[in-house]
Structure 1
Amino acid sequence: MYKGIHSVPVLFDFQWQTPHSKHEYGLPPIGDDVQSFYRFPRHTNPKQDRHLWEVKADFTKAIFVANCLGKRFIEVSQDLDFFEVCKDFIAFLPSKPARILDAGSGAGQNAAALAQEGFTVTAVEPMPEFLSAARKRYKSASITWLKGSLPDMACLNMGTAQFDFVLIDGVWHHIDSTEREMAVIRLSVLIKKGGICAISLRNGPAGLGSRVYPTDTKFTIQQFEKHGLLCIFEVQNKSSILPNKENVKWARIVLQKC
């Protein structure tokens, strides 16, 4: 490193909906992880210009590939069939036109399928790119699209039981243990008495994701039980429906508020 140049960490992370395999979307890897640390000179002189431009080029490449991954993720997600991906949850859907929350709605395919079935759907997603893609693709669907995220989902009214059913598909592994505890408390308030919370739990290599945490089905169930949601369905070791995900397994749980 050049004398007088300080290291400034630069982090790029899709957070909730990052693709987790370097090859699953048909794009080449760009290194061990999208999360990379680049050295940016805070003070330069002409002799250091070449180094600066090399760093900028590397950073631009990382952002370009990450943007490609985001676009590819949207395409792949919107091609998924809700009734295949979430088939374990179908039997627990409430009567129409019950209110459903899709927490971490990604590219919007699950919310759109539920709206088409006649449910009143609210979709919450933190990534503006994904929200925009969802609104564009499913503009005819009667869905309330909101920018927000677990654990607080501040975009929703506070302190009121609003939903008959909450779907959390492919999200829980993107929030850490502290956020999960906060999310359980928040969900216990948002769900009506007798209402359902359906969650998919991912375990396996993180791939390109830099914000991916292991999940524990038993512990997750215990967390919800402490706040009045009892497990009424559990299945484990389900294979991913995406290619190149042999080492990724899913558990699915359904909880009901007492």
Structure 2
Amino acid sequence: MSINVSGTEGYAERAPALREQWRAISFAGQHGPILHFMPDAPAKIVDIGCGIGTDAAALAALGHAVVAVEPVDELREAARELHPSAPVEWLDDSLPDLAVLLARRGTFDAVMLTAVWMHLDEEQRHRAMPRIASLLRAGGVSIMSLRHGPVPEGRRMFDVTPEETIRLASMQGLRLVCELRTSSVQQANRDRGVTWTRLVFEKSVPPGRP
């Protein structure tokens, strides 16, 4: 059983139900509006808060080298079981510090945070953004989604504004290249009025570098 990491409340207990619920969400269906911002394969991509691994496995199938970070043991094990042949590294680590990942001192062409950022409180978001930026190579992209709407019972979520997220990213040299409001891909969430903001940032290339 997972030891709760701040922001993961409710996920370990509901992992079997979430596994079945999330299996109905396809990679293309979830990310279609921003897929053209993904780097060409082969690229190095980290999927932070990978859940049951749908996106990580799809990215690996496209030829990318993928590290998938998930702090909830039950979800990470579900990802391994659902995608046994996917060439993905499944890593136990968590925001806001990402201590395991950052200790490697590697950088990525893309950092994905899908349905993750809203689990962090204000102080954690301020701590996390510099770490996200440090994981990106110059010219790399960070792809994030922010959830808006009622919070499911037993979960810890905050209604984070795009404006705050854009400001925090800008302070770390991440330039906004896309802001898109979308409905939920899940009918039950649409019925509850849940919407999403998709944000794509590009890490600035230092002056003098090609």
Deviation of the 1:244 alpha carbon: 2.2
CA contact (8 A) 1:115 1:121 kept: yes
| 2:194 counterpart residue number | 248
Counterparts of 1:33-182 in structure 2 under 5 Å?
67=13, 69-158=14-103, 160-182=105-127
Equivalent residue number for residue 26 of structure 1: none
Superposition deviation, residue 76 in structure 1: 1.6
Kindly state the Cα deviation for residue 199 of structure 1 after the two structures are TM-superposed: 0.3
Unpaired runs of 5+ residues, structure 2, are 205-210
Write the deviation string for residues 30-54 of structure 1: whole angstroms up to 9, x where unpaired.
Answer: xxxxxxxxxxxxxxxxxxxxxxxxx
Distance in 2 (CA, whole Å) between partners of 1:152 and 1:204 is 26
Partner of 1:215: 160
Instruction: Measure how far apart 1:80 and its partner are.
Output: 1.3
Identity %: 35
CA positional deviation for 1:219: 1.2
Alignment CA distance shift 1:253-1:17 (3 Å)? farther
Q: How far apart in 1 are the matches of 2:201 and 2:131?
A: 14
Distance 1:99 1:82 in 2: 18
Q: Larger C-alpha radius of gyration, 1 or 2?
A: 1
- TM-score, normalization: structure 2? 0.89
| Partner SS state of residue 73, structure 1 | helix
SS of alignment partner, residue 68 of structure 2: strand
Any conservation in 1 of the 2:25–2:185 contact (CA below 8 Å)?
A: no
Q: What is the alpha-carbon distance in structure 2 between the residues aligned to residue 151 and residue 116 of structure 1?
A: 28
User: Secondary structure at 1:160's aligned position in 2?
Assistant: coil
Match of 2:208 in 1: none
Q: Which residue of structure 2 aligns with residue 29 of structure 1? A: none
Cα contact 1:198–1:253 (8 A) shared by 2: yes
Q: 1:207: how far off?
A: 1.9
Pairing 1:192–2:150 present: no
Match of 2:147 in 1: 202
1:114-149: per-residue Cα shift (whole Å, max 9, x none)?
111110000000000001110111110000100011
Contact 2:5 2:71 in 1 (8 A): no
1:239 aligns with 2:183: yes
Residues 175 and 14 (structure 1), Cα distance of their counterparts in 2 relative to 1, 3 Å cut: closer
Residue by residue over 1:203-252, the C-alpha shift from the partner in whole angstroms, topping out at 9 and shown as x without a partner, is 1110214311111001100110011000000112x211112223111000
1:185–1:210 distance in 2 versus 1, CA, 3 Å: same
Gaps of 5+ in 1: 1-11, 20-65
* Separation in 2, partners of 1:214, 1:18: 18
For the aligned residue pairs, the C-alpha RMSD in angstroms reads: 1.9
Using the TM superposition, give the Cα deviation of residue 18 of structure 1 relative to its aligned residue in structure 2, in angstroms.
4.7
User: Aligned letter for 1:123?
Assistant: A
The 4+ residue runs of structure 1 with deviation greater than 4 A are none
Q: What TM-score comes out, normalization by structure 1 length?
A: 0.73
Give the 3-state SS of the residue equivalent to 2:94 in structure 1. Answer: coil
Q: CA deviation at 1:97?
A: 1.1
Alpha-carbon distance in structure 2 between the residues aligned to 1:125 and 1:235: 26
Alpha-carbon distance between aligned partners in 2 of 1:126 and 1:108, rounded to the nearest angstrom: 12
Distance 1:176 1:146 in 2: 23
